[in-house]
Amino acid sequence: DMTQAIFTPASGGQSNLMLGNIVCTTMLAGAHSGSELTMVICTCPKDTGPGPHTDPWRESFLVLDGEFEFHLEQAGKLVPRGAKPGDVISIPAGVGHAFRATSETARVLILSVPGGLDAFFAEAGKPITSKMPPQPAQAFDRERFEAATQKYEVKRFEPARM
């Protein structure tokens, strides 16, 4: 029912383990917003994060704690940019980007518009009860991940060759 307010407690939300070591917790599912937006908190250990890619939705990031290095597409190349708590990065659909945690752990809130990022994480990752990444990282199902990237049109970004 899209006319009802949604409340997700900080301890709530479905968590999925991505790439064996990143915990992505859905705080607002696309299905609960009429597919208008999704809110996910990702907890990343140092030196983890997705490689260069594009998404079919706008992603806006709010760094909650720790620090990240984002790589943002400009003129076909990826340009690094540090991000600290409170910083916001917003990436339109189809624009290349990557990020990685540069502190021991880092957390970022991701808003995707339209919604659907949570469905991608659910199909690409695997459910996990902990909100903290496992140490050491777990093996992950690359075939499952690749199948989800194809289904959701998350594409690898290849920087321009100069």
Q: Contact, 106 vs 61, CB < 8 A?
A: no
Tell me if 109 sits within 8 A of 87, measured CB to CB.
no
DSSP E strands: which ranges in 2-138? Answer: 14-18, 22-28, 38-45, 53-54, 58-65, 68-74, 77-83, 88-91, 97-101, 105-113, 126-128
* Three-class SS state of 148: helix
pTM, two decimals, is 0.94
Q: What pLDDT sits at residue 160?
A: 80
Per-residue pLDDT, 1: 63
pLDDT mean values, one per 10 residues, the chain (162 residues): 86 95 97 95 97 97 98 96 98 97 98 96 95 92 95 92 68
What pLDDT is recorded for position 162?
Answer: 61
